[in-house]
Amino acid sequence: RKEVEQDPGPFNVPEGATVAFNCTYSNSASQSFFWYRQDCRKEPKLLMSVYSSGNEDGRFTAQLNRASQYISLLIRDSKLSDSATYLCVVNLSSGNTPLVFGKGTRLSVIA
């Protein structure tokens, strides 16, 4: 079983749509959780951290369910510029340990 699993997509949605991505992780000892965004042939960039209480940043809402080891990302009012690959990422600790990446979910927002 992969450590971090995501639906690879692609998700093709019209502008203004709401889209949700899901992710599961296998290691219950994971401590910190993130969504990263990666554009084609570029480095990943932090979109947002994910907290158990849920958190929102503008059009983006992230949720974490530790009991079911499940993370989600909701994007409202999709923009063309949201087209990218969204990576679910976990870390086993809050210390100096490497991030573990999912394969990513490809999103294409269409005009």
Residues that bind other proteins (CB under 8 A): 4, 8, 41-46, 87, 94, 96, 98-104
Angle in degrees, CA 108, 101, 19, rounded to 5: 30
Considering the complex, what minimum distance in angstroms separates the CB of residue 104 from other proteins? Answer: 7
Q: What are phi and psi of 82, to 5 degrees?
A: -80, -10
Residue with Cβ nearer other proteins (34 or 64): 34
Residue with Cβ nearer other proteins (1 or 41): 41
Are 71 and 64 a contacting pair, CB within 8 Å?
yes
Are 76 and 26 a contacting pair, CB within 8 Å?
no
Considering the complex, what minimum distance in angstroms separates the CB of residue 40 from other proteins? Answer: 10
Considering the complex, what minimum distance in angstroms separates the CB of residue 18 from other proteins? Answer: 25
Considering the complex, what minimum distance in angstroms separates the CB of residue 15 from other proteins? Answer: 25
Residue with Cβ nearer other proteins (61 or 105): 105
- The Cα–Cα gap between 24 and 43 comes to 23
